[in-house]
């Protein structure tokens, strides 16, 4: 055991030393090997490596500076724009731009689905015509046939008004010229002349077009609303001896004028108001021009008032008994009673009329 141990120890110590000696013989000293294989600072390889490293370093520095400039440049521009906005004193321009923007928003409220570029909606309409029962007629309203809605294109509204005032004098002259000197005969020796008419009305109407925008039938409408107005009709009752004896009967009694002429006055005044119902038609001519017609009635509880004035003069005689008697005392009382009774009968007939006719014809334009 002791021999083996000593041999073992010797082999451990001797073999590495021998191996190291062989390595030195083959390759030399290990320190010298490392120094020989490591490149020195003065060799071309090291210089080339150092140049490449320097270029990479320079590129990284340049890219970093460019990145910092890109980050900083917008900030500078933003500061400039902020300063310029603060320095600009043109507040009026800003207000004008706000006003223009507001007006554009308001204009867009009037745009329709069918024509969104229109500044004003299609359907605004004006009309001008005549009415034999109300005078010179005019209206302003709205009805848009281009609406996409089934109902909206079938409805319209109008503010309607008429008056004889602008044409009253010319119209009355025309009427009396057409009547002539003969007038309108009531009896063989009585006639009506000097006719004077004055009338007016104003109303708000809703129009319904059942056929919408269907070509020819699209102009047919039914109208309803409310109207108020007035009719005033005056005329002279004239009797002349040229036509014979001026005689008339009133309340069962007979009267006669001994003079050459007799003049009386009649008056009908009708102040009406109530719901209106009628129909009409818009007939297209060209572009937006149309011919319009309306016919309807105003239902009213206000009735026409009738008045008759037969003057009592010295020429008027009561001939009921065969002997001419002056209209005085009891005879005058009977005459007034008979006249009041005749007016009451005429008024009762007028009270049966509960509607006032409205007829209109003219031209209109729809935008």
Q: Is 70 exceeded by the pLDDT of residue 23?
A: no
Whole-number Å distance between alpha carbons of 85 and 93: 13
Q: Is 70 exceeded by the pLDDT of residue 200?
A: yes
DSSP 59: H
pTM of this prediction? 0.59
Q: Tell me the pLDDT tens digit for each residue of 308-364.
A: 887 787 788 888 888 888 888 888 888 888 888 888 888 888 898 999 999 999 999
| Cα dihedral 13, 19, 24, 29 in deg (nearest 10) | -60
Q: How far apart are the first and last CA of the chain?
A: 134
Q: Which of 17-21, 121-125, 151-155 has the highest mean pLDDT?
A: 151-155
More confident residue, 49 or 363: 363
| pLDDT value, residue 246 | 73
More confident residue, 114 or 270: 270
Q: Tell me the pLDDT tens digit for each residue of 32-48.
A: 444 444 444 445 555 56
Query: Is 154 in a helix, a strand, or coil?
Result: helix
Residue 40: what are its φ and ψ, rounded to 5°?
-90, 165
Q: Is 50 exceeded by the pLDDT of residue 235?
A: yes
Give the other-Cβ count within 10 Å of 249's Cβ: 12
Q: Quickly state the pLDDT bin for 218 (edges 50, 70, 90).
A: confident
Q: Where are the alpha helices (DSSP H) in 88-163?
A: 91-109
| pLDDT value, residue 298 | 96
More confident residue, 103 or 14: 103
| pLDDT value, residue 6 | 54
- Going by C-alpha positions, the residue among 217, 213, 354, 361 that lies closest to residue 277 is 354
What CATH class is the domain 125-366?
mainly beta
Whole-number Å distance between alpha carbons of 340 and 318: 17
User: Which pair of tokens denotes residue 57?
Assistant: 């370093």
User: Which pair of tokens denotes residue 366?
Assistant: 């729809």
Whole-number Å distance between alpha carbons of 326 and 309: 18
More confident residue, 214 or 13: 214
More confident residue, 84 or 301: 301
Whole-number Å distance between alpha carbons of 298 and 306: 20
How is the chain split into domains, by residue range? Answer: 24-85, 89-121, 125-366
More confident residue, 179 or 28: 179
Angle between helices 30-37 and 2-27 (to 10 degrees): 30
| pLDDT value, residue 63 | 52
| pLDDT value, residue 250 | 79
Q: Is 50 exceeded by the pLDDT of residue 71?
A: no
């Amino acid at each position: 055991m002791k021999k083996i141990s000593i041999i073992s120890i010797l082999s451990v110590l001797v073999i590495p030393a021998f191996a190291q000696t062989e390595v030195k013989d083959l390759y030399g000293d290990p320190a010298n090997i490392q120094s020989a294989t490591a490149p020195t600072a003065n060799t071309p390889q090291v210089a080339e490596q150092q140049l490449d490293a320097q270029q990479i370093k320079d590129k990284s520095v340049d890219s970093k500076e460019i990145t910092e400039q890109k980050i900083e440049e917008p900030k500078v521009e933003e500061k400039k724009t902020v300063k310029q906005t603060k320095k600009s004193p043109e507040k009026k321009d800003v207000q004008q731009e706000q006003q223009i923007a507001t007006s554009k928003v308001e204009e867009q409220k009037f745009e329709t689905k069918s024509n969104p570029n229109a500044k004003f909606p299609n359907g605004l309409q004006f009309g001008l015509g005549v009415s034999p029962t109300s005078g010179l007629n005019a209206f302003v309203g709205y009805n848009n046939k281009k609406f996409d809605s089934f109902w909206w294109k079938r409805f319209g509204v109008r503010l309607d008004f008429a008056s004889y005032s602008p044409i009253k004098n010319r119209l009355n002259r025309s009427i009396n010229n057409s009547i002539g000197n003969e007038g309108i005969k009531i009896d063989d020796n009585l006639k009506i002349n000097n006719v004077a008419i004055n009338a007016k009305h104003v109303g708000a109407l809703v129009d319904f077009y059942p056929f919408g925008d269907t070509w020819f039938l699209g102009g047919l409408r039914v109208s309803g609303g409310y109207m108020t107005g007035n009719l005033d009709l005056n005329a002279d009752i004239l009797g002349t001896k040229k036509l014979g004896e001026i005689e008339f009967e009133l309340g069962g009694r007979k009267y006669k004028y001994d003079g050459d002429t007799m003049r009386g006055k009649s008056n009908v005044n009708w102040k009406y108001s109530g719901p209106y119902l009628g129909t009409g038609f818009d007939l297209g001519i060209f572009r937006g021009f149309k011919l319009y017609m309306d016919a309807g009635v105003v239902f009213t509880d206000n009735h026409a008032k009738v008045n008759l004035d037969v003057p009592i003069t010295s020429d008027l005689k009561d001939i009921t008994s065969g002997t001419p008697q002056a209209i005085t005392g009891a005879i005058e009382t009977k005459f007034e009673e008979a006249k009041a009774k005749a007016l009451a009968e005429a008024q009762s007939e007028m009270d049966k009329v509960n509607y006032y006719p409205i007829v209109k014809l003219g031209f209109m334009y729809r935008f």
